[in-house]
Structure formats: structure tokens, C-alpha cells
Amino acid sequence: MNDLYTIARNTIKPMKLKKNGEAGHVACALETASGAVFTGICIDVPCSIGLCAEQAAIAEMLKHGETQIRKIVAVYEDGSILPPCGRCRELISQVDARNGETIILVADGKAVTLNELLPERWDRKWD
């Protein structure tokens, strides 16, 4: 997990966008079941338009035809680890039924599975 943390940290590139928008102050790195690593950055712009770093990394993974995430971490520009928001937890779950076992770094030295973060699945019937 430390390697993924370093990859995510090295992906952080904060930048200002038009009219109070910003991007790149959170970065995510994920490792798939095949061992491939994909990264993504956040985008925050006015009018509630935005994209979490996890969503960008997952889009990159899907672009390469993979869906099963072994490990994932998101890092803020100050180096702190950010647990995935509720929407990202759900997205990780929705792209592959096996992702309940995805290991998520939620704090320095603390990793949990997605199943631990989402114990009562609303969609268990369709797994």
C-alpha cells in the first residue's frame, strides 16, 4: 500500500481553473487484480460540477478494460489520506461485484475492505 500512497502523492498537481475552479489537489492511485496501477485527480469547479480523484482513476481503469480493484488510496495535497466519499464507495462497488474485498487505505496505517465500509448492501440481490 505504501507504493500506491507514493504514486498517488506524486500525482498531486494542484492547479487553478477558470473562476474559482481547481483541480489536482487530491490524487488517487489504485491497483487492479492484474497488478496494473491507474491514477486520477480531482476536479472541482463552480455549480457543483466536480469529479473525485477515485472516479478519475476508475475511469482510467475501465478505459483499459479492467474492473476489479485490489487496493486504492486517495491523498490530499498536504499528504493526508482521504477515505472515499459515499459516492465513490458506491462506484467502487458498482463496477465489479468482487470489489467488496477491495482494500482501502482510510488513514495512515489503517486499511479496511469496502465491505467494512458498506456492510449492508442495497444491491446484494443482484451480485
Map the chain to HEC letters.
CHHHHHHHHHHCCCEECCCCCEEEEEEEEEEECCCCEEEEEEEEECCCEEECHHHHHHHHHHHCCCCCEEEEEEEECCCCECCCCHHHHHHHHHHCHHHHHCEEEEECCEEEEHHHHCCCCCCHHHC
- Member of 8, 52, 61, 104 binding Zn ion (CB under 5 A): 52
Q: Based on CB atoms, which residue is closest to Zn ion, 52 or 72? A: 52
Q: How far is the CB of 36 from Zn ion (least distance, A)?
A: 21
Q: How far is the CB of 17 from Zn ion (least distance, A)?
A: 19
Examine residue 73 and tell whether it contacts Zn ion (CB under 5 A): no
Candidates 82, 79, 102; CA nearest to 11 is 79
- Member of 8, 61, 75, 88 binding Zn ion (CB under 5 A): 88
Q: How far is the CB of 60 from Zn ion (least distance, A)?
A: 15
Q: Candidates 5-13, 52-60, 64-72, 118-126: pick the segment binding Zn ion (CB under 5 A).
A: 52-60
Q: Residue with the closest Cβ to Zn ion?
A: 52
Q: How far is the CB of 101 from Zn ion (least distance, A)?
A: 20
Examine residue 95 and tell whether it contacts Zn ion (CB under 5 A): no
